A = this chain, B = another copy of it.
Amino acid sequence: MRSPAANAELALHLEAAAAPTPGNVDRDRDHDDLRFEHFLAGAVGARDGLSMAATDESIGAAFERAVEGMSQQSGGNTQFGALLLLIPLVRAAASDDGLTPTTARQIVEQTTVDDAAAFYRAFDHVDVRVDDPPDSFEPLDVRRGSTAIPALRERELTLQDVLAASADRDGVAREWTNGFKRSFETASRLAGSSDGGPVDGQSPVETWIVAPDRLADRAARAHLALLAEQPDSLIVTAHDESTAASVRRRARELLSGLPEQPPEKATIETFAADLVDRGVNPGMTADLLAAGLFIALETEAVSV
C-alpha cells in the first residue's frame, strides 16, 4: 500500500497528466515557459515535504519544505496551491482516525502562529500570483514573504487565521475554512459515489466522469465539472471576474448536453486551445483536482 506522502505525490502527477484540462499544462499541452516536465520535477521535489507532513513535524515546516522542493525547477510556481491543500490532508490521513472532513478540520484548527510564519517563508521560495489583501491586512500581504513575520507574530495569527482572511477571494484558502468541501466532493465524483458529501445534484455528470478506465481521463472530466461549478479564483486574480465567469459559462455549456450528448473531446480541446491562447489558467481548479485525487487514492475509492 502506498503511504499518504506517496499518494499525495501521485495525485500531483495525475493532475498534471490529466488531459484535456483546459487552460492548464497537461499531458498533451505545454505552455511556452511552463512545461509538463516542470510539473514532474515539482511533484518529485515536493515529496520530502509531503513525507514530513505525515510525521510529528509542524504543518508549516512541512509545507515550507514541500514548496522549497517543488520550486527546484525552472518553470516557476507549479503546485503551491495544491500543496497547501495536500499538506493538511496528508497529516489527517496519517492520524489515528484517518482522512475525513472532520480530521482535516481538526488539523486546520490545531495550526499555530509558527505554522503561519513558515507559510510566509514559503513565499520566499517561489513567485505566487495572489490578490491584493484588504487594507487592514496589508502588512501581512503574503508577497512580503518572511518580512511579514513580525507583523504576524504581533497579531498572533495562526495559519488558520491567515487563510480564513482570504477565504472570500481564494478558492484554496476557502477549503481550509469548510472542511475541504470541494476536495472531498471531487474525490466522490472520481469514485462515482457521493459518499463524501453532496455533489451538486448532477448525477449525469458523475456517470460521465467515471466512464473511462484511465484515472487520468476521469480526472480531466472532474476538472471540467469543477470549472463549470464555480469561477476559478486564480483567473479572477490574474484577469478579472468577468473572465472567470465566461470560463465557467463555457464549461457549463460543454456539460449541458449530458447525459444524452456528452461533450466531444475535440470541442473540449478547442476550449483548451482558446484558454492557452488567451493566457487564462484555472490554477485553483487544478489545485482542487489534485486534492480530490489524493483523497480518492488515499481512501482507496480509486486505484491506478
Contact = CB atoms under 8 A, between A and B. Distances in A.
A37 B17 CA distance: 8
A266 interface: no
A190 B44 CA distance: 20
Contact of A47 (B6, B28, B40, B74): B6
Contact of A37 (B1, B14, B37, B44): B14
Interface string A74-101: 1100000000000000000000000000
A33 to B, nearest CB: 10
B2 A37 contact: no
Given A2-B44, A44-B13, A72-B2, A214 B37 contact: yes
A27 B27 contact: yes
Contacts of A14: 37, 40
Contacts of A216: 36-37
Given A17-B36, A27-B27, A44 B215 contact: no
A214 B35 contact: yes
Interface string A14-53: 1001000000000110100001111011001101100000
Copy total for this chain: 2
Contacts of A13: 13, 40, 44
Contacts of A27: 27, 36
A232 interface: no
A190 B23 CA distance: 31
A41 B214 contact: no
B72 A41 contact: no
Interface string A281-294: 00000000000000
Contact of A74 (B44, B75, B303): B303
Interface in A186-222: 214-216
14 contacts: A2-B45, A2-B72, A3-B48, A6-B45, A13-B13, A13-B40, A14-B37, A14-B40, A17-B37, A36-B216, A37-B215, A37-B216, A40-B304, A75-B304
Interface of A: 1-3, 6, 9-10, 13-14, 17, 27-28, 30, 35-38, 40-41, 44-45, 47-48, 69, 72-75, 214-216, 303-304
